[in-house]
Amino acid sequence: MATACSRLPFMGTKGRMEHLSGQQVAQDYAVSDSPEVKRRQAVQTLLARAVQRLQSGQPEAAEKDVRAALKLDPGSVDAVTLLGIIEDRRGNAVLAGQHYRRAAELAPGQGAAQNNYGTWLCSNGFAAESLVWFDRAVLAPGYATPTAAMANAGSCALKAGQSERASRDLRQVLAIEPANTVALEAMAELEFDRQQYMSARAFVERRLAAGPATAAVLKLASQIEDRLGDKAAASRYVQRNRAEFPDAQDVTTGGNAGP
């Protein structure tokens, strides 16, 4: 019997999406499997069901499955991370952060767990503190997506007022992944803050071409055009923002597009 945990989105900085540590796929098991193998199979089955239930809008049922999995395997990083995601969905930021930190501590060599906790820190007012966790993620052996953590580090360094580090990290990411949306948006913000509006325009246009727009990036685009004196272009971005994100607040032009 094979089971799989679907990749569950994790809320990153400024609404960007990260994912759970990775796709966990259980091996095929034979009838004569040992108790240990059966225990691991049961954990994977419970976590797969928890993911499905959470995606179906059943956080209470999902939590029940996750806690059952933790009884079988108290050191399951994916289970602890899922608890963090569940609390995030409930709006319990502090409790979510406790779970993300616990997952990072359980797996100090797992890049995704370090990245997830760093992302939580940056999203909850601890941008400077998040950087050490992103650094750990980037250096973690076997981490499949170090540029994700590096892009988050650059974005959060900008948020922490560390513009030189932000520029360094973001440019390193873009040298590897020219269409990285996190890095492109953060570079647009950085150049805007430096009053390099033509460069900011180039980065924001690349960002919009690289992935779906967000209310934040459309607002930034309108502010850039406003500073460049193209009122028509600024107005078009404002109108697009209102049409695509009617629930977003404050989409007018002007002002500083801070993180």
CATH number, domain with residue 11: 1.25.40.10
Kindly state whether residues 121 and 188 are assigned to the same domain.
no
Query: Which pLDDT tens digit goes with each residue over 227-251?
Result: 999 999 999 999 999 999 998 866 5
Kindly state whether residues 99 and 118 are assigned to the same domain.
yes
Kindly state whether residues 132 and 156 are assigned to the same domain.
yes
Strands 9-11 and 17-19, bridge-based pairing: antiparallel
- Tell me which residues of the chain have a pLDDT lower than 50: 1-17, 19, 21-29, 253-259
Kindly state whether residues 88 and 117 are assigned to the same domain.
yes
Instruction: Give the end of a domain, one of 146, 170, 194.
Output: 170
Neighbours of 55 (CB within 10 A): 12
Residue in this structure with the two tokens 């996190």, named with its chain if needed: 182
Kindly state whether residues 40 and 139 are assigned to the same domain.
yes
Kindly state whether residues 7 and 105 are assigned to the same domain.
yes
| Euclidean distance between the first and the last CA atom of the chain, given in angstroms as a whole number | 46
Residue in this structure with the two tokens 């440019």, named with its chain if needed: 171
Kindly state whether residues 52 and 149 are assigned to the same domain.
yes
DSSP single-letter state for residue 211: S
DSSP single-letter state for residue 141: T
169: phi then psi, degrees, rounded to nearest 5: -65, -45
Q: What is the pTM of this model?
A: 0.83
Query: Containing domain of residue 81, as a range?
Result: 1-170
Instruction: Give the end of a domain, one of 137, 170, 203.
Output: 170
Enumerate the H helices of the chain as residue ranges: 35-55, 59-72, 77-90, 93-106, 111-123, 127-139, 146-159, 163-176, 181-193, 197-210, 215-228, 231-244
Give the three-class secondary structure for 238.
helix
Kindly state whether residues 148 and 185 are assigned to the same domain.
no
Residue 13's pLDDT is what? 43
Instruction: Give the end of a domain, one of 143, 170, 197.
Output: 170
Cα 233 to Cα 205: distance, rounded to the nearest angstrom: 12
Cα 172 to Cα 148: distance, rounded to the nearest angstrom: 11
Q: Which residues contact 246 (CB under 8 A, 6 or more apart)?
A: none
Kindly state whether residues 64 and 103 are assigned to the same domain.
yes
Give the three-class secondary structure for 92.
coil
- Count of structural domains within the chain: 2
Give the three-class secondary structure for 10.
strand
Neighbours of 128 (CB within 10 A): 15
| Mean model confidence pLDDT for the chain | 88
Kindly state whether residues 194 and 152 are assigned to the same domain.
no
Kindly state whether residues 124 and 21 are assigned to the same domain.
yes
Kindly state whether residues 107 and 16 are assigned to the same domain.
yes
Find the angle CA(220)-CA(138)-CA(97) to the nearest 5 degrees: 70
